[in-house]
Amino acid sequence: MPARLMDGTAFAAKLRERVKDGVDGLRRDHDLVPGLAVVLVGDNPASRVYVKNKAARTVEAGMRSFEHRLPANASEESLMALIAGLNADPAVHGILVQLPLPPQIQESAVLNAVAPAKDVDGFHPINVGLLATGKPGLVPCTPLACLMLAKEALGTLEGLDAVVIGRSNIVGKPVAQLLLTENCTVTVAHSKTRDLPAVCRRADLLIAAVGRPEMVKADWIKPGATVIDVGINRVDAAEAGKTRLVGDVDTLACASIAGAITPVPGGVGPMTIACLLVNTLRAACAGLGTQSPV
Ligand code: GUN
């Protein structure tokens, strides 16, 4: 039986509606409008598109969006001064510095400068440590998106064999920690893993986050497994001069074996932005000492 294709676009739209309801509640009950500040340094075309989308979704959810742009040759000091101002601004509940940064700016110094309570990317070492120790904090958006999709497909994840391909700080490691918190038995596979197909074939839940176009093949999939594809890779299309997006999973081939699978585009991607809004709402609620409804 072919796999159920998980519709990340529709699921994300429902999640954004729930965030909007939460935002409406905060305005009504606490006279508070959550605000998200996004900082873009330079003019990386992909980053510009992401930042524009994030701002549009933020406003749609009833939140305030603050966009800050610095030139590609901006100094680390000027970015640090901007972040210090945003940390101190009571209208700003979430701060996201779009990556990558230009080479003259040290990424770790910038991520460490964002107030942990406003760190909606979940990249600050305090939030990384909270996640690693299973305590509440702000969790990176893409891993949170993967977790929500996995729970949507499977209900409880307890006892499942989960395999994560990729060990990045942004996706692989945090998603593995989230799955551990859900009582999965977690394997983190990477470029030095021996017999990767055999490791993947053990997975009830397979999360691919390597950045290699269509690397995961049909015979890597355990029949009925849930497959979540984090990859967004641009490759040449059949038509000359055109490109198309593919994931890390050979979706068409794997869909005949898997139980459920996320497409690319339209799977994890839209959920990631929705999770950024979730984190902004959570940060605003935490500032009031109330529980976020989402
Ligand atoms: N660039 C690509 N992905 C991300 C992300 O999740 N957060 C930030 N801040 N920048 C990115």
Active site residue 89: no
pTM: 0.97
| Catalytic-role residue among 98, 173, 248, 250 | 98
Q: Give residue 2's pLDDT band: very low, low, confident or very high (50, 70, 90).
A: confident
Give the domain ranges of the chain.
30-117, 141-268
Distance 169 CA to ligand 1 centre (A): 11
Q: Which residues contact 17 (CB under 8 A, 6 or more apart)?
A: none
Summarised one tens digit per residue, pLDDT across range 168-219 is 999 999 999 999 999 999 999 999 999 999 999 999 999 999 999 999 999 9
Same fold, 30-117 and 141-268: yes
Summarised one tens digit per residue, pLDDT across range 107-141 is 999 999 999 999 999 999 999 999 999 999 999 99
Does the CB atom of residue 99 touch ligand 1 within 6 A? yes
Active site residue 248: no
**What does the block give as tokens for 32?**
């508070």
Distance 234 CA to ligand 1 centre (A): 17
How does strand 161-165 pair with strand 233-236? unpaired
Active site residue 98: yes
What CATH class has 141-268? alpha beta
Distance 98 CA to ligand 1 centre (A): 5
CB distance 162 to 203 below 8 Å: yes
Q: Report the distance separating Cα 56 and Cα 51, nearest Å.
A: 9
CATH of 30-117, picked from 3.40.50.10860, 1.10.10.10, 3.10.20.30, 3.40.50.1370, is 3.40.50.10860
